[in-house]
Chain A
Amino acid sequence: MTSAIETRDGLPEKAARIAVILFWTGARVFSIVLVLAAWEILARSGTFTPFQLPALSAVLERIWSDAWSGDLAINTALTLYRALVSFAICAVGGVAIGMAMSRNKIANWFFDPIISVGFPMPKIAFLPVVILWLGVYDVSKITIIVIDAIFPVIAATVIAIQGVERELIWSARNMGANNRELLTQIVLPAALPQIMTGLQVALPLTLIVAVVAEMLMGGYGLGGAMITASRFANSTGVFAGIVEIAVIGYCLVKAMAMLRRRLLIWHQEANEPTTA
């Protein structure tokens, strides 16, 4: 099939198409390269001291040596472990609470004001309280991350289930679906797009809070490594930390978007042109 198209298109058109693709890829990469080059040149020109802005090459060297010494792997693994365990708790717990709220009047009565007051609160302020209760190890880090990131999941689940079309539920009931079948085969799939949106809000939050918690409590982890570096006025270490955390954040967000596309391949949004 493809070969037929290629022969019909002929060479010049194909070349033009490749040129167009190359041009746009080049344009996309151009600004990133520009910024990286500007960073290196600015740092080397002496406009800033190496403390204010270490050269990109120095930062990369530092990341390279961290990678070889194994520090990078340990810190990344710990930060990811904390963020992802919390994310899993938020996903399971948030969807469960959201479902309970939309199926059970008492659960709704109890949780609704807590969600509506708690959602907009800066829950990170409770971090010292959590430290007071649970210490400075993984349990308290995971707890504060869950406290921060579970609200968007609950809210999205409640709204999603409210928005499921009545006709779908009626017809399933008509065809004799029991409550469990209704939930797993109709309500959850129909609510999935919005639940996924809630999860996509929660995921970056888990990383933000994980980094703050690590910075405040110290120890291993990317945030902890950054704050240690900054205490020793080691700004190369600080910038290396930012680059590492940025890469991880980017990969996680992209992975989540891919997961969404896979899970929702049956949904009409998969056919719409995506922007993200």
Chain B
Amino acid sequence: MKQFIRYLPLLLLAVTWELAARLELVSNTALPPLSDVILAWVDMIKDGELLTNGASSLYRAGAGLGLSIAIGGVLGITMAWWKPVNVLLAPLVEIFYPLPKSALIPVTVIWLGFGDGSKILLIFLGCMLPVTMGAFNGARSSEQVLVWSARSMGANKLRMLWDVVLPSAMPELLNGIRTALALSFILLVSSELIVAQKGFGFLIGFLGANGSYDAMYAVVLTVAFLGFAADRIYLLILRRTLAWREQTP
């Protein structure tokens, strides 16, 4: 019941949508009734259109994000661990961090064409720096006392990295990855909207150009929901991973 009252506003919005469309308060081209949108969604699931395009979108996002986590994480921890690397890379990170990553869309197309490669490269480039910054800030903030005691107990460098630096970098690293996760969806959809032959973004643009707006709304809502669900699942994993900490975010 409590949950119901909590999420009632969303239901209200949905009902308002349906009513506004059914009573023709707004044109049905601009806003098809929610029920039609749901029907269109069921249709697209049945003929597999949504699933094949969704699969290729998720593959791109997953591959790009995976690469950025692996390489960005290693880079961040190396920067915190080894000063010369930091001196060399910090200015580059500082310059590229504020770059609006969407500006890279045409370049990745020039380099890798219209297919999967350009999207994966874009998501990798766009998501890497938040992960790097998270890993760097986290690893740098590992408590000196812990480092000293580990050293006095005879831990070698590698063990210290694994047992002290990595766990203390974890919270910030995981937060960086959360930022990257949200960014990956943004970059995925934008790049697919602009140039693609399959994927969610392509489907949205294609359906919009064809005038099948109910189906377009269905895909838009699907993408929005997937982004939301991915964040929630990630948050669950994050809470579980960080359960050993005294306070969890």
Contact = CB atoms under 8 A, between A and B. Distances in A.
A109 B106 contact: no
Chain B interface mostly helix, strand, loop or mixed? helix
B25 interface: no
Interface residues of A, number: 58
A164 interface: no
Contacts, number: 156
Nearest to B207: A128
Chain A interface mostly helix, strand, loop or mixed? helix
Interface in B220-238: 220, 223-225, 227-228, 230-232
Contacts of B111: 52
B131 to A, nearest CB: 16
Given A117-B228, A120-B228, A242 B204 contact: no
Nearest to B227: A122
Contact of B100 (A122, A128, A204): A204
A219 interface: no
Nearest to B191: A212
Nearest to B105: A215
B188 to A, nearest CB: 8
B98 A122 contact: no
B15 to A, nearest CB: 14
By size class, the interface of chain B is 35 or more
Given A35-B92, A113-B10, A229 B224 contact: no
Nearest to B136: A275
B190 to A, nearest CB: 4
Contacts of A64: none
Contacts of B6: 109, 112-113
A50 to B, nearest CB: 11
Interface of B: 5-10, 13, 29-30, 87-92, 95-107, 109-111, 137, 182, 185-186, 188-190, 193-194, 200-201, 204-205, 208, 213, 216-217, 219-220, 223-225, 227-228, 230-232
